Amino acid sequence: MARILGIETSCDETAAAVVLDGRYIESNIVYSQDDVHRLTGGVVPETASRLHLRTIVSVLERALGEAGRGWNDIDAIAVTHGPGLAGSLLVGVNTAKAMAFARDLPLVGVNHLEGHVYANWLVDQIEPEFPLVALIVSGGHTDLVLMEAHGRYRRLGRTVDDAAGEAFDKAARMLQLGYPGGPAIQRAAEGADPTRYDLPRAKLQGRWDFSFSGLKTAMLRTVQQANESLVVPELAAAFQEAIVDVLATKTVEAAREFGAENIALAGGVAANVALRARIQARAGVPVLIPPIRLCTDNAAMIGAVGHFRFEAGDRSPLDLDVFPVLPIA
């Protein structure tokens, strides 16, 4: 059994966690910058980096303190080194490298997208079975991945333009619903009729790929043309339905075609209630869904990946670099 200290700073959450055996959370501290970035309607990279610098040490101290552990109890340090904002990633990676050097601890670089998938190993349920199809949906990513074993991935599809979470953010801004957009759209759409407005679903030649730019453009035109007649709850519901329908349909079809034992949801958009319900209703196989606190960026998921990679013998050098663009497969 290994105890891993996870560090996550890929975007606008400063996070540290202590995870035992890849499945048990002893602490999971997240400092969110949402209140700051809400003022600008989105994440400002320079601001995010400065806030990481101010908070990373206190977050690390809180994670160790809440777990009741000291540095002698830690077997390795796992840190997100991509994908993400370069400045934000550098804060976490350089902190992890400094701690690994000072404490003579192994260092394990972790892919942020892989971390989201491994949030499904941190819940009180049967351990996920392979092969599984993972839908990773967040503000920066929309990927459909076949996971055949620990560390073995095949990316089936991805967004060719906007990520689903990014589309939610932009739609919420059009409707003046605030930031972050996903929860704002979901709240506005609750109980509303999604059929009042007809919004498109992209049909792509790549069977498992996604596209949301056309939907975003159609949303903008609808808002501009509606003027005073615009019914915000119904338009929010139609937009949410267009995204949920495409994500759920392709995920379930992929699970059937590749004989998946499980479907795993991952990423911030996996917190969407409509998406969860739609996939569960159609799946035909067990659907793994992390609790909302583990869908958004956190360090426990990085610690979980770190455990399995550490046990497999993976080690990163002290000149580990960051990769703002880093596909999962």
Q: Domains of the chain by range and CATH?
A: 3-119+294-311 (3.30.420.40), 129-289 (3.30.420.40)
Specify the DSSP element, H or E, that contains 224.
helix 213-226
Measure Cα distances from 101 to 71, 74, 75, 309 in Å. Answer: 12, 13, 13, 19
Q: What is the mean pLDDT of each run of 10 residues along the chain (329 residues)?
A: 97 96 97 80 88 97 98 98 97 98 98 97 86 95 97 96 95 93 96 96 84 95 88 97 97 97 96 97 95 95 98 97 94
Burial bucket for residue 94 (CB in 10 Å: 0-12, 13-18, 19+): middle
Question: Tokens 């730019």 map to which residue?
Answer: 213
pTM: 0.94
Cβ contact 277:287 at 8 Å: no
Largest Cα–Cα separation, the chain: 65
Which pLDDT score is estimated for 241?
97
